[in-house]
């Protein structure tokens, strides 16, 4: 049976996550009729692309490197395929995609039917501390990019990612979410408690949900990405 997969690599070259992603793709490609697209994002743009290109030449896999993430990190663009978020959405939205892999935080793809306009429902979980280099900002970037392509996007702040609700730079972006029809914004009650945050003091007031409600939220979405 043919299986199409999308792998999102966020770990840099030499990291255990990047190595496991490469090994997985190499093994996956040996299975007859399988096809795969790889999207390098965040620190995942820091790769030894020669090894990936060798795999691409042998199995005709598709490699995409996020142009914004590469430019932020001054990555030499020679001999790599720079792509926008649209390439990721196109790959994930293909009707025959059976699996979406994410490295190092695995997402899920639920076999839901698409919305009436043909779009998918994405849940993006933000868990990175706001001071963690570009990572927190890039999670919001991908949310806006996906929403701009007329996909349904919800946000869930979890762990130290909840602190993004206090940072002025993040709040400027979050204030514009309604312009992209991103109206479903959530935070877990345990994350507020663990970070000593009081809901009423937050300038942006997302919906507070329990762990049980998180499970229901995940089941209600087609694709879950975690940053």
179: number of Cβ within 10 Å: 10
Catalytic residue among 66, 75, 85, 225: 66
Strand partners, 186: 156, 207
**Any catalytic annotation for residue 66?**
yes
Helices of type H across 8-108: 16-29, 49-59, 67-72, 85-93
Please give the full DSSP string across 108-152, using - where no structure is assigned.
EE--PPPPTTS--EEEEEE-S-TTSTTHHHHHHHHHHHHHHTT-E
Q: How far is CA 203 from CA 26, 144, 163, 196, 200, in A?
A: 46, 20, 12, 15, 8
5: number of Cβ within 10 Å: 21
Instruction: State how far the Cα of 90 lies from the Cα of 23, in Å rounded to an integer.
Output: 24
Q: How far is CA 132 from CA 43, 46, 77, 125, 169, in A?
A: 11, 17, 24, 15, 13
Active site residues: 66
């Amino acid at each position: 049976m043919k299986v199409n997969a999308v792998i999102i690599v966020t770990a840099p070259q030499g990291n255990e996550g990047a190595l496991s992603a490469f090994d997985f793709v190499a093994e996956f490609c040996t299975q007859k009729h399988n096809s795969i697209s790889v999207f390098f994002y965040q620190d995942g743009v820091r790769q030894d692309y020669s090894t990936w290109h060798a795999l691409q030449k042998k199995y005709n896999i598709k490699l995409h490197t996020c142009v914004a993430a590469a430019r932020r990190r001054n990555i030499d663009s020679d001999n790599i395929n720079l792509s926008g978020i649209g390439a990721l959405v196109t790959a994930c939205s293909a009707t025959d995609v059976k699996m979406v892999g994410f490295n190092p935080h695995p997402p899920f793809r639920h076999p839901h039917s698409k919305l009436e306009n043909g779009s998918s429902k994405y849940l993006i979980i933000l868990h990175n501390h706001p001071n963690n280099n570009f990572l927190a900002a890039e999670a919001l970037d991908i949310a806006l990019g996906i929403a701009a392509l007329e996909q349904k996007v919800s946000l869930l702040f979890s762990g130290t990612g909840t602190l993004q609700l206090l940072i002025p730079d993040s709040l400027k972006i979050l204030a514009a979410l309604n312009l992209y029809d991103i109206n479903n914004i959530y935070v877990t009650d345990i994350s507020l408690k663990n970070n000593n945050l009081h809901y009423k003091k937050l300038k942006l007031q997302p919906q507070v949900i329990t762990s049980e409600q998180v499970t229901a939220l995940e089941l209600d979405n087609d694709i879950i990405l975690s940053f």
